Amino acid sequence: MLAVGVVGGTGYTGAELLRLLVMHPEVSLKYVTSRSESGNRVADLFPNLRGFTDICFTEPELETLSECDVVFFATPNGTAMKMVPALVENRVRVIDLAADFRLKDASVWKQWYGMDHACIDVLAEAVYGLPEINREAIKTARVVANPGCYPTATTLGFLPLIEQGLIDDQRLIVDAKSGVSGAGRGASVATLQAESAENFKPYAVDGHRHLPEIRQTLSDVVSHEVGLTFVPHLLPMIRGIETSLYARLKTDEAVDLHQLYVDRYSAEPFVDILDQGVMPETRSVKGANTCRISIFRPQQCDTVVVSSVIDNLVKGAAGQAVQNMNIMFEFDEALGLKQVALLP
């Protein structure tokens, strides 16, 4: 059994991570930390966990966390990088669900997150935890940077086209929509029910923090810089992401785009390519670690449209983190992640 610690278990991502971990047959949940909830039972804050764990929140202490085989960080950006070097030194493997280790360039990190990086040496060795492109590196990683939700849906949607060089990668367009849980559990006027219900709006059009992450990931695939316009929107629902991806084909030749995607993801346990003409729905992945994708070529013109849906809290966060843990410790990659999506 793996001894597992969770730092920052009070947000939506932390709650989802705990839901998955308490049901994982190879996990022994040893520590869940929170300074504000220390001493209180986890199941009192999250009553859905009642009967599944009696653990109490504790202070995030290096000494106790060093007893774990793996520690997950479900903390605000900038927190993990202050603790990770000491944990790695104590042979604890780390999966960070925040953005501390996603951007390889420390100056880019500072530009987008407004702070100096605290451990550039660890940043250099961290592995970007998207299994569909980095599975082999994840196996031996000491630190895994769990991808963001928008980058997961976007990268998986574009990946087969990018890899095969079929599209103009200097004019990629991402039209993304997320449920309000993506904004976190902290109180915010913008996510009050009276503000978000019956409303639909774009935000961060001039620049979202996930933009450099998406650019970096796709650029690494093609070994040159890509051009990307990324516009996120807030949907009046709790969880789920849909990304509509637009690109221009570079070839006039007849290419079976659907079969391209089927072939690329045939061995991937958590990517589902829908039948031709079937539209993805966010409700079809609610609570599941699945990315569902459809690809279209409207009117057989040179524009290709890809629709990709995930649950932002599962494949977009906690589920992908558990998937990475399974890979790191040589479990069946789908262990603990075979939940059927919740419907309705």
- Tens of pLDDT, residues 300-320: 889 999 999 999 999 999 999
Q: How confident is the model at residue 142 (pLDDT cuts 50, 70, 90)?
A: very high
- The total of other beta-carbon atoms located within 10 Å of residue 69's CB is 18
The yes-or-no answer on residue 149 being catalytic is yes
How confident is the model at residue 98, as a pLDDT? 97
Identify which of 228, 98, 237, 227 has the alpha carbon closest to the alpha carbon of residue 175.
228
Chain CA centroid to CA 97, Å: 7
pLDDT range class, residue 254, cuts 50, 70, 90: confident
Shortest CA distance to 241 belongs to which of 343, 149, 148, 344? 149
The number of angstroms, rounded, from the C-alpha of 195 to the middle of its chain's C-alpha atoms is 26
pLDDT (0 to 100) of residue 252 = 74
Q: Return the percentage of the chain with pLDDT > 70, whole number.
A: 100
pLDDT of residue 283 exceeding 80, the answer is yes
With 0.75 as the threshold, say if the pTM is over it. Answer: yes
Tell me the pLDDT tens digit for each residue of 87-114.
999 999 999 999 999 999 999 999 999 9
| CA–CA gap between residue 262 and residue 104 (Å, rounded) | 31
Residue 202 has pLDDT above 80, yes or no: yes
pLDDT at position 185 over 90: no
DSSP 67: T
Residue 188 has pLDDT above 90, yes or no: no
Q: What confidence category does residue 190 fall into, taking pLDDT thresholds of 50, 70 and 90?
A: confident
Question: How confident is the model over 131-146, as a mean pLDDT?
Answer: 98
**Mean pLDDT (the chain, rounded):** 96
Q: What is the mean pLDDT of residues 200-229?
A: 96
Q: What is the pLDDT of residue 271?
A: 98
Q: CA-to-CA distance for 303 and 248, rounded, in angstroms?
A: 5
Rounded mean pLDDT of 132-156? 98
Read off the pLDDT of each residue in 272-298 and give the average, rounded to a whole number.
97
Residue 230: pLDDT over 80: yes
| pLDDT of amino acid 104 | 97
Contacting residues for 301 by C-beta, under 8 A, at least 6 apart: none
CA distances from 256 to 32, 89, 263, 295 (A): 48, 49, 11, 10
> Is the predicted pLDDT of residue 235 greater than 80, yes or no?
yes
Q: Which helix (H) or strand (E) holds 172?
A: strand 172-178
> How far is the C-alpha of 47 from the C-alpha of 44, rounded, in Å?
6
User: What are 246's strand-pairing partners?
Assistant: 173, 305
pLDDT at 184: 77
Instruction: Confirm if 104 and 216 have CB atoms less than 8 A apart.
Output: yes
Catalytic residue among 68, 119, 149, 291: 149
What domains sit in the chain, N to C, each tagged with a CATH number? 2-125 (3.40.50.720), 150-312 (3.30.360.10)
pLDDT, average across residues 120-141: 98
Element (H, E) at 21: helix 12-21
